[in-house]
């Protein structure tokens, strides 16, 4: 009875984990990342229409499914529109550190990523992301008049806490379905180059790593060798009924003679250098002829009929 109760308990936990695809455990994974309210000449949807869009970012290092989650929008207090993200679409699964773009065009019949509400550039836009249990995962308020046409409100970097207005400038440009900040340089490499321009530090570090690895390998092989010799000696002592370790050491029990090691080394050398014998694979078949002997010749038998003259 106790085992049955435990099985029912774990089954319920598994069911909650499966059916809540965007549950409480995903609270820190899905975030609102970038929003464009007034789309005039920016990114187009799959119908070729310029519509407002909402970008969601999966900041975890595992795939997360948006199916069953909710997107909510409010232009005024108490005026809330809710969009349920449908299940059954494989595209709702966001890969690690990737984005999903939803079009806020008020036309949900156009597909999974088209919401049933739209954004208004002349009013305040409140947008919230909820899990399947209607628990708030993330929310953002875009004040009215903050964004001009084709300007977006986005996090400075993916999943960062600070937000900023992105325009068409070279430093702050709109980035739908991609990283909010593109890294075109490696600060660590540049700092390393500044502090070690000649490369002496890198050379010393590399040599230390190599020699440390060699020392560790030497210690490991030596330890393994001693353990294997000890085990071989114990098996040999048990086989011959010897209990005195000194006697076993004098008789060199468990130790192979030098000829065995020499044969193994020679075999390995021949295998690596291809110096072993190579047999000829061509077969030659020749006809075997009997040797002639006058003693066995039929022409000299006594039964030969005499010739008449």
Averages of pLDDT over each 10 residues, the chain, 309 residues: 51 44 54 95 92 95 93 73 92 94 95 94 91 91 91 93 89 90 74 79 90 95 86 81 78 74 83 66 68 64 63
Q: What class has domain 20-184?
A: mainly beta
CA 281 to chain centre: 47
Handedness of CA 181, 187, 190, 194 (dihedral sign): positive
- Extract the tokens encoding 35: 């929003």
| Nearest by Cα to 63 from 92, 87, 84 | 92
CB 114 within 8 A of CB 102: yes
Cα angle value 149/152/154 (rounded, 5°): 170
Structural domain spans, the chain: 20-184, 200-271
Please check whether residue 54 is in contact with residue 37, taking contact to mean a CB–CB distance below 8 angstroms.
Answer: no
> Are 66 and 83 contacting, i.e. CB atoms less than 8 angstroms apart?
no
Give the CA radius of gyration of the chain: 42
- Burial pattern 198-228, b for ≥16 Cβ within 10 A else e, equals eeeeeeeeeeeeeeeeeeeeeeeeeeeeeee
pLDDT for res 23:
39
Q: Under DSSP, is residue 224 helix (H, G, I), strand (E, B) or coil?
A: helix
pLDDT value for 220? 94
Q: What is the pLDDT of residue 48?
A: 93
pLDDT given for residue 270 in this prediction? 79
Query: Could you give the CA distance from residue 25 to residue 57 in angstroms, rounded to a whole number?
Result: 16
**Lookup result for tokens 């449908």:** 86
Tokens 């890294």 belong to residue: 183
- State phi, psi for 217 to the nearest 5 degrees: -65, -40
Q: Which two tokens stand for residue 149?
A: 């046409």
3 state SS of 1: coil
Q: What is the pLDDT of residue 65?
A: 94
Are 50 and 104 spatial neighbours (Cβ–Cβ below 8 Å)?
no
> Residue 23 in contact with residue 132, Cβ under 8 Å?
yes
- Specify the pLDDT at position 115: 95
pLDDT at 170: 80
pLDDT at residue number 40: 93
What pTM was computed for the model? 0.55
């Amino acid at each position: 009875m106790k085992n049955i109760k435990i099985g029912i308990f774990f089954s319920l936990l598994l069911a909650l984990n499966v059916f809540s695809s965007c549950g409480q455990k995903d609270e820190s994974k899905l975030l609102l990342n970038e929003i464009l309210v007034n789309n005039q000449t920016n990114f187009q949807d799959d119908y070729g229409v310029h519509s407002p869009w909402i970008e969601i970012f999966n900041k975890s290092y595992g795939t997360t499914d948006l199916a069953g989650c909710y997107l909510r929008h409010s232009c005024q207090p108490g005026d809330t529109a809710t969009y349920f993200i449908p299940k059954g679409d494989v595209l709702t699964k966001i890969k690690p550190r990737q984005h999903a773009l939803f079009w806020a065009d008020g036309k949900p019949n156009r597909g999974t990523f088209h919401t049933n509400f739209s954004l208004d550039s002349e009013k305040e836009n409140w947008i919230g992301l909820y899990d399947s249990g209607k628990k708030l995962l993330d929310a953002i308020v875009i004040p009215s008049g903050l964004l001009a046409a084709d300007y977006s409100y986005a996090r400075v970097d993916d999943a960062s806490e600070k937000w900023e207005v992105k325009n068409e400038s070279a430093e702050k440009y709109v980035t739908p379905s991609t990283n909010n900040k593109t890294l075109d340089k490696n600060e660590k490499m540049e700092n390393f180059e500044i502090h070690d321009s000649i490369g002496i530090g890198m050379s010393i570090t590399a040599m230390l790593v190599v020699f440390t690895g060699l020392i560790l390998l030497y210690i490991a092989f030596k330890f393994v060798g001693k353990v294997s010799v000890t085990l071989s000696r114990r098996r040999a002592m048990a086989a011959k009924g010897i209990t005195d370790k000194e006697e076993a050491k004098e008789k060199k029990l468990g130790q192979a003679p030098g000829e065995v090691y020499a044969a193994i080394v020679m075999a390995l050398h021949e295998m690596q250098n291809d110096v072993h014998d190579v047999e000829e694979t061509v077969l030659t078949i020749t006809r075997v002829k009997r040797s002639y002997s006058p003693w066995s010749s039929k022409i000299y038998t006594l039964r030969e009929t005499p010739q008449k003259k």
